[in-house]
Amino acid sequence: MTAKLPKMSAAVVSVFCLSVSAYAALAGPEHTFVGGDREPQTLAERYCTNVADKAADLRMAMQLRQLNELSEDVDKRAASLERKLVELKEWVQKRDEFVRRGTDALVKIFATMRPDSASQQLIAVDERTAAAILMKLKPRKASSILNEMDPERAARLAATIAGAARIGKGGKI
């Protein structure tokens, strides 16, 4: 007669088998299963013997699944870091382009202009170009040009210049 036993998880089977072994040890030497030359005596001992390999396989499969999940998480994080690195490189390129906009010839032209005329010309160009030109001028000339501008526009240009200057020193913000 073969008893049909319910399916259980590896943890439940392990706990059950440990409790059966502990009970058998407390019951006395006639009920203990030492292994090797002696056959299991009780239904519980036979069950534990039959499912021991399956329980070990289940534990191994569970650990493998956990390792795969961790590996996928590491891969996702590495991909995220790669995306951020690409984004950072693009930003550095944009910054370099920003600095190159203020070519030396253009800077010389603005350096020789009167501050009120230069400010009117810089208002007409985009802010990045204006800030790049002002960065390359001598501080005294740049300040007199900013003094002639609308305060709001001058403040935006100053903020742009300050941001570029912070990044320019050591590459850190």
Cβ 103 vs Cβ 80: under 8 Å: no
pLDDT for position 37:
57
Is residue 142 within 8 A of residue 110, CB to CB? The reply is no
How long a stretch of residues is the chain?
A: 173
pLDDT averages per 10-residue partition of the chain, 173 residues: 52 61 54 54 80 88 94 95 95 82 79 93 89 91 93 91 65 45
Tens of pLDDT, residue by residue over 31-78, are 444 455 567 678 888 888 888 888 888 999 999 999 999 999 999 999
Percentages of the chain per state (helix, strand, coil), in multiples of 5: 75, 0, 25
User: Measured between alpha carbons, how far is 164 from 101 in angstroms, rounded to an integer?
Assistant: 13
Q: Which residue has the tokens 């706990």?
A: 15
